[in-house]
Chains A and B, each alone.
Chain A
């Protein structure tokens, strides 16, 4: 079973920041938080990952709380092309641990 809890859907106005929350209260010390997204019926796409520090790349920022029990993915200036299902995944970094997908959050960016 997925170890994360996400809201099923969210809306965001185009040009505004999209903040997608994720709860992972049972996360272990060796587990990272990963975010993937799936646009329409395409294969999922990696966005970002982190352990305990905040992370930023060209696509998004990841804010992880100090106790690591929750995190927020931030898309700073959402566009219509960011409409997708966003998956928050907790996974051990070492070994051959597979990605376990939950149902994710369906983000709709509205013009």
Chain B
């Protein structure tokens, strides 16, 4: 199993540009989520999904959109990038929302200038 994969690893955007961060898992996990981590801070939840077609907001959802059309993929869209969205983004998955172990991807480092 590849586990949780994220692309790209690094990205630089200009203010106002849009892009999609990709996240995929091959473990048939129902639960997937997106976090952001700012320097010196813990991870903060952006959005999560408990299965295909079901998504919900986390702690910091503003400026981000998600959809879950398949079990495997959970893309995160930035509609109009802002410098405040400069961060490292982590995707995670688990068998279900109550699973004790979540598996995290390697992260995408995003810089918005």
| Chain A residues close to B by CB (< 8 Å) | 2, 32, 34, 41-46, 49, 87, 93-104
Q: Would you call A96 and B102 a contact (CB within 8 A)? A: no
| Chain B residues close to A by CB (< 8 Å) | 4, 31, 33, 35, 40-45, 48, 50, 56, 58-59, 88, 90, 92, 96-98, 100-107, 109
Closest 4 interchain pairs by CB?
A: A43-B104, A96-B97, A101-B42, A101-B43
Chain A: CB-nearest residue to B106? A43
Chain A: CB-nearest residue to B44? A101
Pair count A-B, CB < 8 A: 62
Q: Would you call A44 and B98 a contact (CB within 8 A)? A: no
Given contacts A44-B90, A96-B50, A98-B45, contact A34 B100 (CB under 8 A): yes
Q: Which residues of B contact A98 (CB under 8 A)?
A: 33, 45, 48, 58, 97
Majority secondary structure, A binding face:
loop
Chain B: CB-nearest residue to A42? B106
Chain B: CB-nearest residue to A87? B42
Q: With A and B bound together, what is the CA distance between A61 and B55 in angstroms?
A: 35
Given contacts A41-B107, A43-B106, contact A97 B98 (CB under 8 A): yes
Contact of A44 among B40, B43, B97, B109 (CB under 8 A): B43
Q: Which residues of A contact B41 (CB under 8 A)?
A: 103
How far in angstroms is the closest Cβ of chain B from A47?
Answer: 10
Chain B: CB-nearest residue to A44? B104
Chain A: CB-nearest residue to B4? A43
Q: Would you call B100 and A46 a contact (CB within 8 A)? A: yes
13 A-B pairs whose Cβ atoms sit less than 8 Å apart in the complex? A32-B100, A34-B100, A41-B107, A42-B106, A43-B92, A43-B104, A44-B92, A44-B102, A45-B104, A87-B42, A96-B31, A99-B45, A99-B102
Q: Which residues of A contact B31 (CB under 8 A)?
A: 96
How far in angstroms is the closest Cβ of chain A from B24?
Answer: 14
Chain B: CB-nearest residue to A8? B40
Q: With A and B bound together, what is the CA distance between A43 and B59 in angstroms?
A: 19
Q: Would you call B107 and A49 a contact (CB within 8 A)? A: no
